[in-house]
Amino acid sequence: MRHLITTDDLGLDEIETLFKDAESYLQAPPPKLLQNRLVITLFFENSTRTRSSFEIAAKKLGADVVHLDVARSSTKKGETLYDTAANLNAMGPDAIVVRHAQSGTPYQISRHVNCAIFNAGDGAHAHPSQALLDLFTIRRHFKGDLEGKRIAIVGDIKNSRVANSNIRLLPRFGLKITLVAPPHFLPRTDLETTTRLKDVIDDVDIIMSLRTQTERHAQPIYASLKDYASDYCITKERIGDRNIMLMHPGPVHRNIDIDDAMLSDPRCKVLEQVKNGVAVRMAALKKLILANG
Ligand code: NCD
């Protein structure tokens, strides 16, 4: 049974095929390859983009989609997560898309079901479909030429599953990563790190800004988000006229992560990421569901 728990679940060739499919879905109406297939979305944490992106992706390929409203489900009545998963599994889905605040939950669920599990974000651990859509967006932007391209990942890296998945995935495709964050947001790492944006701004091709993951902080970590912004907000003033591709997985803290001017600047690819996300998730759903028979 194939699952997408981390980006390591896919080989380089498989990612190439996935991207070829995603590209074709951007070019022409997709074939209904998942007709009569059932995809369940099971989100224990908030989501705007990821859930709708997976649901739209599944529907565009002809699948039926059911969303389990966790707030009204039996986990609220004391049913364990595994019993919930086993019960959903008994309804015969082809895939369950899971988001959970606790790292490892999608992996645990994958051991109790016989359908594909898609990790749509587990705690600070991983968010593989986001990293895949980020890589896809970068590759399209640079027309496939990634060797030696430099990316600065900026912000709450330690608590970000988006950063953690990108840190695993992007170097496999030749990208060089620098982590830019205050010391308490930096993970233990072998990657190049700095606390100052200005150290790297002249050397990078891409900046990936991240949201401060306040929901994962046991106590307030920065005096205020405004103080954080004064050091790390991606402003037009800081970027100047440099040719830098600007990314963010969303949701953006406006004028904290990125300022108004840069959000409406053509160098900002946030909505491009969202658009590509549907195509990449279509390709991932197709691959795993059809691989599982
Ligand atoms: C991210 C997430 O939920 O991990 N959002 C997303 O999926 N696009 C990032 C975040 O919440 O900051």
Predicted confidence (pLDDT) per residue in 129-173, tens digit: 999 999 999 999 999 999 899 999 999 999 999 999 999 999 999
- The pLDDT value recorded for residue 82 is 84
Ligand 1 binding pocket, CB closer than 6 Å: 49-50, 121, 127, 130, 161-162, 211, 249-250
How distant, in Å, are the alpha carbons of 61, 98, 151, 273 from that of 22? 12, 21, 23, 13
Proportion of the chain above pLDDT 70, given as a percent: 99
Taking a C-beta distance cutoff of 8 angstroms, is the pair 60, 81 a contact? no
| Strands 64-68 vs 150-154: parallel, antiparallel or unpaired | unpaired
Distance separating alpha carbons of residues 64 and 42, to the nearest angstrom = 14
Task: Answer yes or no: is pLDDT of 222 > 70.
Answer: no
Residue type, 62: G
**Three-class DSSP labels, 222-263:** CCCHHHHHHHHCECHHHHCCCCCEEECCCCCCECCCECHHHH
Is residue 285 classed as helix, strand or coil in its secondary structure?
helix
Local structure of 65: helix, strand or coil: strand
Which atom of ligand 1 is nearest the CA belonging to 249? 8
> Among 190, 183, 198, which residue's Cα sits nearest to residue 168?
190
What are the structural domains of the chain?
7-127+274-291 (3.40.50.1370), 130-269 (3.40.50.1370)
Q: What are the residues whose beta carbons fall under 8 Å from the beta carbon of 293, sequence distance 6 or more?
A: none
pLDDT at 74: 77
Beta bridge partners of 206: 151, 245
| Nearest Cα residue to atom 11 of ligand 1 | 251
Distance 211 CA to ligand 1 centre (A): 8
Length of the chain: 293
Q: Which two tokens stand for residue 205?
A: 């091709």
Which of the listed residues 162, 166, 214, 217 should we mutate to test ligand 1's pocket, taking the one with most ligand atoms within 8 A of CB? 162
Average model confidence (pLDDT) across the chain: 95
pLDDT in tens, 77-103: 788 888 888 899 999 999 999 999 999
**pTM score of the predicted model:** 0.96
Averaged over 169-194, what is the pLDDT? Answer: 97
Task: Identify the residue whose C-alpha is closest to ligand 1 atom 12.
Answer: 211
Phi, psi of 179 (to 5 degrees): -95, 130
Residues forming beta bridges with residue 271, ordered by sequence position: none
pLDDT in tens, 104-136: 999 999 998 999 999 999 999 999 999 999 999
Q: Is the pLDDT of residue 215 over 90?
A: no
pLDDT category, 221, cuts 50, 70, 90? low
pLDDT band at 223; cut points 50, 70, 90: low
